[in-house]
Amino acid sequence: DVKVTQSSRYLVKRTGEKVFLECVQDMDHENMFWYRQDPGLGLRLIYFSYDVKMKEKGDIPEGYSVSREKKERFSLILESASTNQTSMYLCASSTPGGRVYEQFFGPGTRLTVL
């Protein structure tokens, strides 16, 4: 069974802290994505990666960075957390060779920044 795991389900951090959100997939997928979900705004793409050490900005990259040192792992970094980054963060992966375009999502990390 395919699996995308995220390091934490719930996280509480303070303003100004550096925050790391980790995502691991066991499907040998090339593509990995980070989204945030907010009420009324749907899923917004933060960053994505098509290969190791590659990264592309999504629609809302400001305040975030990413790291992809290994194929199975994609990390989202909040350099200095702010209250407006309180959100549900979702990681996803996909492969161009799999069922066409389907993205598999992790369970999400609910981040609260105080």
What is the binding site for another protein (CB under 8 A)? 4, 9, 31, 33, 35, 40-45, 48, 50, 58, 90, 92, 96, 100-108, 110
Shortest spacing between CB 80 and another protein, in angstroms: 26
**What's the rounded Cα separation, in Å, for the pair 46 and 41?**
13
Quote the CA–CA distance of 111 and 101 in Å, as a whole number. Answer: 28
Question: Least distance from C-beta 79 to another protein, angstroms?
Answer: 23
Residue whose CB is less far from another protein, 67 or 105: 105
Closest CB to another protein among residues 17, 28: 28
Residue placing its CB nearer to another protein in the complex, 24 or 92: 92
- Considering beta carbons, is residue 16 or 50 the nearer one to another protein? 50
The least CB distance from residue 4 to another protein, in Å, is 7
